[in-house]
Amino acid sequence: MRRFPLALMGLVILVSACTTRPENVEARYVSQNDYSKWTCPQLYDERARVTSEVERVSGLQRDNANGDAVMLTVGVVVFWPVLLGMAATHDRSEELGRLKGVYEAVDSEVKIQHCTIAPPPG
């Protein structure tokens, strides 16, 4: 009888330890003042770089979240030692939140400076 509450508590802890889905990671505050002296072309380059990095880290985060969900399902339904593998996934929510914050800061500075997109060369 005492095993059920203990198992339930363990399950709650494991579920709360799952990797956060990338779309649920909030942007961390980054001051747009860091970019106030940048030119519009520099801001566009930085925004493109950060966008690419957000996409890359989001993909890694999504893979980890999906892996955690699979391990949790298999662990609860079939074989509980699989749950130990959840500790091996790498949560990149801090890095992703920082990158989202950088993107927001750069994007805000683009708007403040009234930058316009130059037509593509060619």
Supply the pLDDT for residue 91.
77
Residues 6 or more apart from 106 whose CB is under 8 A from it?
Answer: 32, 35, 43, 46, 47, 50
Residue 18 within a domain: no
Instruction: Give DSSP secondary structure letters for 25-74.
Output: PPPPP--GGGGTT--HHHHHHHHHHHHHHHHHHHHHHHHHHHHHHHHHHH
Residue 6 within a domain: no
Q: Is the pLDDT of residue 108 over 90?
A: yes
Residue 59 within a domain: yes
Residue 118 within a domain: no
Residue 8 within a domain: no
Residue 1 within a domain: no
The answer to whether 14 and 83 are in contact (CB under 8 A) is yes
Supply the pLDDT for residue 44.
94
Number of domains in the chain: 1
* pLDDT tens-digit map of 4-28: 544 544 554 444 456 677 888 899 9
Which domain does 42 fall in, by range? 23-112
Q: Is the pLDDT of residue 100 over 90?
A: yes
Residue with tokens 């990338």: 22
* pLDDT tens-digit map of 36-83: 999 999 999 999 999 999 999 998 888 887 766 555 555 554 555 555
